[in-house]
A = this chain, B = another copy of it.
């Protein structure tokens, strides 16, 4: 379907009966307001539903005009603000904004039952002498299994392969109103030399896993203690987490399914490879 053209903006139709407007050229707010008013009346006649305005940071002079036209904020990233308006007189089906950040922690053990640990320079554990597993944030668009390998490499220099998600926890209001999900992952080390270049890391070493679990900060904190118990069970071959099986979604995207693959009689990945 051919979209309407508006000077200084790109106009795309989405597959939900809506329109996405992206401001590309500088313009004054009066000119923007009048173009928007004209287009909105056209889109209303055409039975359009959700109208989106993508306003890059450098066009922040236009935010107020969009809000005066009835738009509300939907989400923002560093360099743009997305606003939305629902035209029909029905409850909107505008998708919710992202609500969670993801974090990962790495349980990396060598064949001497030593676990890879770090001391952080700042934050909650800075200066406490606590040895903890390498942890970090999953980047936008990054797979959990890739993020945890990257964090270990950055913080310790050690190369690893992903084995399993051992456990995860969800917590709320961790940052403003946002929630987070933290995935504890087991990794298999592929190298052993420690070379930390991350400014947030004070020290790194291989530590007997029993010494790790015996630290007071682990034993006195229910969550850390649970996680240590899971890791010890895993080392004793008594635990199965979720492994990552590559698959394809119905819309054709490559994606990972995380599941207890050991529990499936013919493993999913194996049955796929034979197919």
Contacts and interface: CB of A to CB of B under 8 A. Distances in A.
A229 interface: yes
B78 A76 contact: no
A77 interface: yes
A83 to B, nearest CB: 9
Nearest to A66: B60
A43 interface: no
A263 B230 CA distance: 9
A203 interface: no
A140 B177 contact: yes
B76 A74 contact: yes
A257 B258 CA distance: 16
Contacts of A233: 263-265
B249 A177 contact: no
Contacts of A253: 171-173
A260 to B, nearest CB: 6
A195 interface: no
A99 B144 CA distance: 12
A75 B176 contact: yes
Interface stretch (A33-41, A106-114, A217-225): A217-225
A64 B64 contact: yes
B101 A99 contact: yes
Given A141-B177, A167-B257, A260-B241, A73 B64 contact: no
Interface of A: 57, 60-61, 63-64, 66-68, 72-82, 91, 95-102, 124, 137-141, 143-144, 166-173, 175-179, 181, 199, 221-224, 226-227, 229-230, 233, 238-242, 245, 247-250, 253, 255-260, 263-265, 268, 272
Given A74-B76, A141-B177, A230-B264, 8 more contacts: A57-B72, A63-B63, A73-B77, A76-B81, A96-B101, A144-B170, A171-B255, A241-B259
